[in-house]
């Protein structure tokens, strides 16, 4: 089974906090985060200053800096949280289908949320790669969230005899690589949403068929 997020990875969001002030004042920390995200979504990251955020909250800029070292640190916290929320919005807990049906549903929701994110949260979408100190690390954390879910579904379908035997963790990694060809941020900038939806649906069908009818080695 693919390993779940390590403690250090799971706390990546918390690691962006400047100092102990956030721990002692969680309400203020959340309010700053929520207000900053709302302003970044509306105006763009570059157009919003710490002073703007402080003014919205009726506090001094110094108070914002008690919780976040800089505007970049604040942006990183939002980026990590946004990635987790994106993964959560793809939840299939409401589905009572078979494991293979759940896998297809999860992939469909994942694709839909990526497209919606690009269309509805343009400024935030553009901000994320700019603010992450290590964009690759942010991508790995999000990728792990997706791979863990896929791995569990594939393993369940194999146990039920729906999918041919194989390595669920390896399969999950390959699936993410395939979807990256259409859902990577750079690709989303270049493809028409309708065409992207059609292409993603075809890829999902190919994934399902490949897992069901793979040739034994």
The tens digit of pLDDT for each residue in 156-168 reads 999 999 999 999 9
Q: Is 70 left (phi over 0), alpha (psi -120 to 50) or beta?
A: beta
CATH class for the region spanning 82-212: mainly alpha
Give the phi and the psi of residue 114 in degrees, each rounded to 5. -65, -45
Give me Rg for the CA atoms of the chain: 20
Q: For residues 122 and 126, what is the distance between their CA atoms, to the nearest angstrom?
A: 6
Q: Map out the domains of the chain as residue ranges.
A: 17-67, 82-212
Reported as a single tens digit per residue, the pLDDT across 75-95 is 888 888 877 787 777 778 778
CA atoms within 13 A on the CB side of 192: 3
Reported as a single tens digit per residue, the pLDDT across 36-50 is 999 998 898 899 999
CATH class for the region spanning 17-67: mainly alpha
Band the pLDDT of 191: cuts 50, 70, 90: low
């Amino acid at each position: 089974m693919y390993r779940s997020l390590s403690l250090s990875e799971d706390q990546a969001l918390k690691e962006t906090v400047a100092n102990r002030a956030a721990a002692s004042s969680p309400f203020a920390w959340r309010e700053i985060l929520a207000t900053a995200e709302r302003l970044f979504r509306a105006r763009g990251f570059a157009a919003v200053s710490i002073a703007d955020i402080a003014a919205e909250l009726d506090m001094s800029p110094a108070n914002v800096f008690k919780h976040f070292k800089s505007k970049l640190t604040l942006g990183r916290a939002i980026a990590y949280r946004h990635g987790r929320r994106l993964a959560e919005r793809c939840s299939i807990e409401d589905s009572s289908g078979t494991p293979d049906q759940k896998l297809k549903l999860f992939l469909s929701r994942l694709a839909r949320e990526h497209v919606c994110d690009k269309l509805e949260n343009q400024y935030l979408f553009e901000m994320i790669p700019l603010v992450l100190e290590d964009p690759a690390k942010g991508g790995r954390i999000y990728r792990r969230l997706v791979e863990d879910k896929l791995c569990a579904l594939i393993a369940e379908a194999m146990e039920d005899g729906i999918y041919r035997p194989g390595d669920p963790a390896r399969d999950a990694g390959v699936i993410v690589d395939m979807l990256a060809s259409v859902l990577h941020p750079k690709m989303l900038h270049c493809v028409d949403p309708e065409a992207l939806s059609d292409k993603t649906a075809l890829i999902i069908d190919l994934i399902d068929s490949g897992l069901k009818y793979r040739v034994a080695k």
